[in-house]
Amino acid sequence: MASWCWRCAVTDLFALGERPRVMGVLNVTPDSFSDGGRYAAVGPAVQHGLEMTAAGADLVDVGGESTRPGATRPLVDEELHRVLPVVRELSGQGVTVSVDTMRAEVAEAAVAAGAQVVNDVSGGLADPRILDVVRDSGAVYVAMHWRAHSDRMTRHADYPEGVVAGVRAELGERLEAIAAAGVDLDRVVLDPGLGFAKTQQHNWELLQHLDEIEQLGRPVLVGASRKSFLGGLLGTDDAPRPVDQREAGHLALVVLLAQYGVWGLRVHDVRATTDALAVLDRVARPS
Ligand code: PMM
The string of pLDDT tens digits covering residues 27-60 is 999 876 667 678 989 999 999 999 999 999 999 9
Binding site membership of 226 for ligand 1 (Cβ less than 6 Å): yes
225 is a domain residue: no
7 is a domain residue: no
Binding site membership of 62 for ligand 1 (Cβ less than 6 Å): no
Confidence at residue 33, expressed as pLDDT on a 0 to 100 scale: 66
Binding site membership of 191 for ligand 1 (Cβ less than 6 Å): yes
End-to-end CA distance of the chain: 45
Confidence at residue 154, expressed as pLDDT on a 0 to 100 scale: 86
CA of 25 to the centre of ligand 1 (A): 8
**Can you give the CATH number for the domain in which 89 is found?**
3.20.20.20
Confidence at residue 14, expressed as pLDDT on a 0 to 100 scale: 64
Which one of 100, 103, 120 would you pick to mutate in the ligand 1 pocket, going by the greatest count of ligand atoms within 8 A of its CB? Answer: 100
153 is a domain residue: yes
Q: Between 18 and 60, name the one with better pLDDT.
A: 60
Binding site membership of 45 for ligand 1 (Cβ less than 6 Å): no
What is the extent of the structural domain holding 186? Answer: 23-219+263-269
pLDDT tens figures, 199-251: 999 999 999 999 999 999 999 999 999 999 999 999 998 999 999 999 999 99
Closest CA to ligand 1's atom 10 = 223
What number does the ligand 1 atom closest to the CA of 221 have?
Answer: 7
Confidence at residue 247, expressed as pLDDT on a 0 to 100 scale: 98
Full strand arrangement of the beta sheet holding 264-267:
188-191, 140-144, 117-120, 97-100, 59-63, 21-27, 264-267, 221-222
Task: Tell me whether strands 59-63 and 140-144 are parallel, antiparallel or unpaired.
Answer: unpaired
CA of 209 to the centre of ligand 1 (A): 20
246 is a domain residue: no
**Considering the chain, what percentage of its residues have pLDDT values greater than 90?**
81
| Catalytic machinery residues | 227, 266
281 is a domain residue: no
Binding site membership of 34 for ligand 1 (Cβ less than 6 Å): yes
Taking each helix axis from N to C end, the angle separating 42-54 and 76-92, rounded to the nearest 10 degrees, works out to: 50
**Considering the chain, what percentage of its residues have pLDDT values greater than 70?**
92
User: What backbone phi and psi angles, to 5 degrees, belong to 113?
Assistant: -85, 0
Q: How confident is the model at residue 4 (pLDDT cuts 50, 70, 90)?
A: very low
Structural domain tally of the chain? 1
Binding site membership of 101 for ligand 1 (Cβ less than 6 Å): no
Taking each helix axis from N to C end, the angle separating 130-137 and 104-112, rounded to the nearest 10 degrees, works out to: 20
12 is a domain residue: no
37 is a domain residue: yes
89 is a domain residue: yes
Confidence at residue 38, expressed as pLDDT on a 0 to 100 scale: 87
